[in-house]
Amino acid sequence: MINITNLTKAFGKAQVLKGISTQVDQGEVVALIGPSGSGKSTFLRCLNLLETPTSGTITIDGVELTNPKVDAAQVRLRIGMVFQHFHLFPHMTVLDNITFAPIEVKGLSVEAARAKAHELLARVGLSDKADSYPSRLSGGQKQRVAIARSLAMEPDIMLFDEPTSALDPEMVKEVLNVIRTLADSGMTMLIVTHEMKFAREAADTIYFLDDGKLVERATPEQFFSNPQSERAARFLEQVL
């Protein structure tokens, strides 16, 4: 579904991604792990062109994103993204946060968008918060709304950029449960995470990135029990 060949990204002189090639299948759940600064987030952000790759190609279902002629907005419609810091629109209610893009971008009718939003809110367990403003929500609730907001655009692929890193520990679980349910539903997902237990349980594939390179690509069982590289072994030693 997603084909990535020799992807590089440099910020000025800093080479953040040093040639990553891989492919992600339909319905595959990928957990990206690795030390901070290894390029996990940058890699993820390249996939919906929040960062413009320096070189290399990304192809989604045959459409080459990295081709300048491709309309980035069209590509983004197929890809949802959830951020570490939620980025809900603070001046809109939860319901408006969720319905804004479907109405304004996809041209959904107001009632259809609202019906969909209520359904999604029920799915993330926040039916009673539809008319609240984001400032009234806890971090975990905000992140669940952010997930619902992304899902409202009915994407084929979901990207999660450290979705639980900004949360208090007691709220991590409620968010991970939502993501896990989503994974079980067959959504193609890439998740940058530091939650090793979650990665092990929910992911189909683990990508271990270090210093801008995809060092290991393995099933959770393989990776966590028998890492192939020395760097991965050292990393696991530190975090487990």
Partner 1 sequence: MYTSNYSLHLTIGLYLEVDKYVTVHTHKKEEIMNRNRLQRLYIPLIVFTLLLLSIISITSLAKTDLAHAAKEPTSAVKKLVMGTSPDYPPYESVDAKNNGEIVGLDIDIAKYITSQLGYELEITSMDFSGLIAALQTERVDFVMSGMSVTDERKKSVAFSDSYYTARNTIVSQKKNGFETVEQLSGKLVGTQLGSTQDQFAETIPGAKHKKLNKIADLIQELNSGRIDAAIVEDAVAIEMVLANSDLAMNFIPVVEEANGYAIAFPKQTALVADFNRMLDQMKENGELQNIIDKWFEEKQADTSGQTGFLNIDFRVLDGYVPYILKGVYVTLLFTLVSALLGLFWGTILSLFKISGIRPLQWFATAYTSVFRGTPLLVQLTLIYYAVPQLFNFDIPALLAAGLAFGLNSAAYLSETIRGGIMAVDKGQREASIALGIPYRKMMVRIIFPQALRHILPALVNEFVALLKESSLVSVIGVTELMRRADVVRASTFRSFEALLLVAAIYYVLVLVLTSLARMLERRLRRSD
- Return residues touching partner 1 (CB under 8 A): 48, 50, 73, 76-77, 79-81, 83, 85, 87-93, 95-96, 100-101, 104-105, 109-111, 114-115, 131, 133-135, 146, 149-150, 153
Nearer to partner 1, 42 or 208 (CB): 42
**Amino acid identity, position 89:** F
- What minimum distance in Å lies between the beta carbon of 117 and partner 1? 11
Nearer to partner 1, 9 or 231 (CB): 9
Close Cβ partners of 4 (under 8 Å, ≥ 6 residues apart): 20, 21, 22, 23, 24, 56, 57, 58, 59
- What minimum distance in Å lies between the beta carbon of 223 and partner 1? 29
- What minimum distance in Å lies between the beta carbon of 175 and partner 1? 17
- What minimum distance in Å lies between the beta carbon of 135 and partner 1? 5
Nearer to partner 1, 135 or 185 (CB): 135
- What minimum distance in Å lies between the beta carbon of 87 and partner 1? 4
Nearer to partner 1, 12 or 90 (CB): 90
Nearer to partner 1, 109 or 225 (CB): 109
